[in-house]
Amino acid sequence: MSDTHAQFAFVRSKMLPEAPPPASERGAAKWVRQNFFSSTINTVMTIFVFVVVIQIALTVVPWLANGVWSGSSLSDCREALAGETGACFAVLSERWNQLLFGFQYPSELYWRPLAAFLLLFVAIAPVLFQKYVPSKMLIFTALYPFIAFFLIWGGSLLTPVLALAGFVVGYFVYTKLVAQSFALGFFGGLFAALAFWILSGYLPVEGILAIEPVESREIGGFMLNLILGTVCVSLSIPFGIALALGRQSSMPIIKWICVVFIEFIRGVPLITLLFVANVVLAYFLPPGTNFDLILRVIIMITMFASAYIAEVIRGGLAALPRGQYEAANSLGLDYAQSMRLIILPQALKISIPGIVNVAVGLFKDTTLVSVISMFDLVGMIRGPISSSQEWNGVYWELFLAAGLLFFVTCYGISQYSQWLERELRTDHR
Amino acid sequence: MADTAPQMHVSDEVAISIQRMNKWYGTFHVLRDIDLTVYAGERIVIAGPSGSGKSTLIRCINALEEHQKGKIVVDGTLLSSDLKNIDKIRSEVGMVFQHFNLFPHLTILENCTLAPIWVRKTPKREAEETAMHFLEKVKIPDQANKYPGQLSGGQQQRVAIARSLCMMPRIMLFDEPTSALDPEMIKEVLDTMVSLAEEGMTMICVTHEMGFARQVANRVIFMDQGQIVEQNEPEEFFNNPKSERTKLFLSQILGH
Ligand SMILES: Nc1ncnc2c1ncn2[C@@H]1O[C@H](COP(=O)(O)OP(=O)(O)OP(=O)(O)O)[C@@H](O)[C@H]1O
Ligand SMILES: [Mg+2]
């Protein structure tokens, strides 16, 4: 045995250099062959798909290319096209403002929601790009809701200032009481804020430091979708976290409240909740109270989204190994600290795709408010624009535009989430 | 029922005192009438077959598991359901786990400074200095800015030890710190533990590393079926085991 070994003994003294692959393994020709014509079935499929794509392009391209961009009615478009196929984009150039802002928002005030929209990016930047934006900017993020409210709804500057002051009062009471117990601090703060808001409701603020007010029913178009989407998503994430943690709680009352809430909301279609917001809530309110419809809808959509996000986050929490909780505990971190510093950062990271899924779905679902006769983007198209004499019969162009607006927003959200997932990945070697 | 084992008292100061402690998982009686006194500076090794309750015992000491009967006093503080006491005890008692349990979303340095900053309210700068000091002690200061996922198992376990030490604990608990490691990494972790023992840290280690037990332990405790069956100083324990079960266990892990 050992003899043969000695006979064949061989030690490589120099490593061979890496050689390039043969020509058939390189270049575009190889790529096409491998990906499109590698087998009979593959070849047939390639030809079939090619034909279908050409057919679609042959109908769509002229329709787009011949599109008429000016004119004040559908018949103007037909005249301009003189029998050829072509889109009537004139409806967009004529009614773009209604699609974006609704048909009642005063046109001389368009700059206000536009400013709010631009400031939104400044406000969410420190949240979305934590590492790259100084955290002092978070102060602006905290003030942004009040600024945006003031810009969009107008009225007295004191209204948002008092609303903000309510939060400050609540927080102040919370810090005073939290040393005794968390529950006391939380409910004390909540109660103080509520009391402050109710009392300040009696202040005659109307007209003081005011800009021109706009009523909720005058708000519509894509702006309404954006308002509902942004507010509901940003509210439902903290509520969803609270519900998910509550569902894990060792205190049975808290646990069951969360379970019942989540299961009930998930078992009911959103549209039902919207009808409730529209009609039924009015029965429960004292007569004569004017509880803003947009606010009611925001409450309902937020509840709906919170329940879904809570379940997504619960999945993330369940995916964490028990050792993480134990390590956090064994170092002496208390419940709040271990959640905030150890558990949630990891659970939320796992939950990003699910949360984004809910957020994108929710944003698109805001178009459901058109069913309770609010004039959001879809409501505008189906209502005032399609039923107007000039544009009756124009569908494709309008829904194409609506689709594009939603696509751009949702695609942006999805791209961001993928970037964030890469950014948070720490396990690469 | 007092400790009958001959003890080489390192000091007379009691670090941990466990009296008639019992624990059940549902109806399953995991720990039965455990009596154990650990003196400050003592190094104790707990051995025993799988499922004998070793992990459960040391996890009761820092209240990761709740005991149902009996008394546990750690460093003068009685373990009860009072959360303040539990947090106090946990910050005095460090624990090292079989699977390291580092926080994967934080860097090595952040892993080490987190608890001092949030629990002890140490200023960040100072916490980082302490952390670097202990990372140097476990011989991986150059990895401070990496993430746990980028380290080998042995390195991760040494970071876990440094993370516990950063809280300046009076007592360290080890639950099979080397049994998830490849053989060549076991030594580096044991070396760290030996040097810790030489500095006089009070340690309780659940381990099957009998060489380590011989080298550093003051006392070896043998557990079976939720009870302490035998305890003795290492030489006596290994050369002259008293009970049949200990003999059987020793022949299984030493002989072959
Ligand atoms: N959470 C639990 N619920 C129910 N039974 C448990 C639980 N944890 C452990 N046990 C049981 O308690 C007994 C003691 O477990 P423990 O983990 O303390 O054993 P061990 O001595 O550490 O064993 P090993 O050497 O395998 O780690 C085992 O029989 C185990 O099945
Ligand atoms: Mg164990």
pLDDT of residue A224: 92
* Residue pLDDT, tens place only, A308-337: 999 999 999 999 999 999 999 999 998 889
pLDDT of residue A289: 63
pLDDT of residue B3: 44
The closest residue, in CA terms, to atom 25 on ligand 1 is B50
In a domain, B165, yes or no: yes
A380 CB contacts (<8 Å, ≥6 apart)?
A98, A99, A102, A103, A220, A221
A186 near A174, Cβ under 8 Å? yes
- Cα separation values, B37 from A39, B40, B61, B215, Å: 76, 10, 12, 21
Place of tokens 């779905």: A361
Q: Is B52 in the pocket of ligand 1 (CB under 6 A)?
A: yes
Chain B positions in Cβ-Cβ contact with residue A322 (cut-off 8 Å)? none
In a domain, B6, yes or no: no
Cα–chain-centroid distance for residue B111? 19
B4 near B236, Cβ under 8 Å? no
Chain B positions in Cβ-Cβ contact with residue A426 (cut-off 8 Å)? 104-105, 147, 149
A210 near A154, Cβ under 8 Å? yes
In a domain, B4, yes or no: no
pLDDT of B6 > 60? The answer is: no
In a domain, B182, yes or no: yes
The closest residue, in CA terms, to atom 18 on ligand 1 is B53
Q: How many domains does chain B contain in total? A: 1
The closest residue, in CA terms, to atom 6 on ligand 1 is B25
A381 near A398, Cβ under 8 Å? yes
Beta bridge pairs of residue B172 = B94, B203
- ipTM, two decimals, is 0.90
Looking at the whole model, is its pTM more than 0.80?
A: yes
CA of A323 to the centre of ligand 1 (A): 15
In a domain, B1, yes or no: no
Chain A positions in Cβ-Cβ contact with residue B104 (cut-off 8 Å)? 346, 426-427
Strands B93-96 and B171-175: parallel
Place of tokens 């892990």: B253
Q: Which two tokens stand for residue A357?
A: 């899924």
Q: Is A17 exposed, middle or buried (0-12, 13-18, 19+ CB in 10 A)?
A: exposed
Question: How distant is the Cα of A150 from the closest Cα of chain B, in angstroms?
Answer: 39
Report the candidate in A350, A357, A359, A324 with the shortest Cα–Cα distance to residue A425.
A350
Residue ranges of A 315-354 with Cβ closer than 8 A to chain B: 321, 323-324, 326-334, 337, 341-342, 345-346, 349
Question: How distant is the Cα of A331 from the closest Cα of chain B, in angstroms?
Answer: 6
In a domain, B207, yes or no: yes
Q: Which two tokens stand for residue A355?
A: 């949360």
- Stretches where chain A sits below pLDDT 50 are 1, 429
Distance, in Å, from the CA atom of A112 to the CA atom of A228, rounded to the nearest integer, reads 17
Chain A positions in Cβ-Cβ contact with residue B95 (cut-off 8 Å)? 326-327, 330
A223 near A110, Cβ under 8 Å? no
In a domain, B153, yes or no: yes
Q: Domain map of chain A by residue range?
A: 29-89, 98-105+219-424
CA of B179 to the centre of ligand 1 (A): 16
- Cα separation values, B68 from B47, B53, B80, B104, Å: 23, 15, 10, 34
Distance, in Å, from the CA atom of B171 to the CA atom of B203, rounded to the nearest integer, reads 6
CATH number, domain at B45?
3.40.50.300
Question: How distant is the Cα of A169 from the closest Cα of chain B, in angstroms?
Answer: 27
Ligand 1 atom with minimal separation from the B98 CA: 27
Residue ranges of B 19-58 with Cβ closer than 8 A to chain A: none
B103 touches chain A (CB under 8 A): yes
Distance, in Å, from the CA atom of A69 to the CA atom of A124, rounded to the nearest integer, reads 35
User: How many residues would you count in chain A?
Assistant: 429
In a domain, B3, yes or no: no
Average pLDDT taken over every residue of chain B = 89
How many other C-beta atoms lie within 10 A of the C-beta of residue A52? 10
A426 near B105, Cβ under 8 Å? yes
Q: Is B50 in the pocket of ligand 1 (CB under 6 A)?
A: yes
A18 DSSP assignment? P
Please report which residue ranges of A135-280 form alpha helices under DSSP H.
138-153, 158-177, 182-200, 221-248, 252-266, 270-275
pLDDT of residue A135: 83
Crossing angle (nearest 10°) for helices A221-248 and A90-101: 40
A425 touches chain B (CB under 8 A): no
* Residue numbers of the domain that contains B192: 14-254
B90 touches chain A (CB under 8 A): yes
Ligand 1 atom with minimal separation from the B49 CA: 25
Distance, in Å, from the CA atom of A63 to the CA atom of A78, rounded to the nearest integer, reads 13
Q: Is the dihedral of CA B167, B171, B173, B174 positive or negative?
A: positive
Q: Is B53 in the pocket of ligand 1 (CB under 6 A)?
A: yes
CA angle B132, B136, B142 (to 5 degrees): 80
Query: Does the distance separating the beta carbons of B101 and A321 come in below 8 Å?
Result: yes
CATH 1.10.3720.10 is the classification of domain A98-105+219-424: yes
Ligand 1 atom with minimal separation from the B53 CA: 18
Beta bridge pairs of residue A112 = none
A428 touches chain B (CB under 8 A): yes
Q: Is the dihedral of CA A328, A331, A335, A339 positive or negative?
A: negative
A153 near A116, Cβ under 8 Å? no
A68 near A77, Cβ under 8 Å? yes
Q: Is A114 exposed, middle or buried (0-12, 13-18, 19+ CB in 10 A)?
A: middle
Distance, in Å, from the CA atom of B61 to the CA atom of B10, rounded to the nearest integer, reads 20
Q: Which two tokens stand for residue A105?
A: 């928002």
A325 near A343, Cβ under 8 Å? yes
Distance, in Å, from the CA atom of B23 to the CA atom of A66, rounded to the nearest integer, reads 82
Chain B positions in Cβ-Cβ contact with residue A341 (cut-off 8 Å)? 114, 118
A268 CB contacts (<8 Å, ≥6 apart)?
none
Chain A to chain B Cβ contacts (< 8 Å): 71
Ligand 1 pocket test: pick from B21, B22, B54, B59 the residue with the most ligand atoms within 8 Å of its Cβ: B54
Which residue type, as a one-letter code, is found at position A159? Answer: T
Q: Which two tokens stand for residue B192?
A: 């760290």
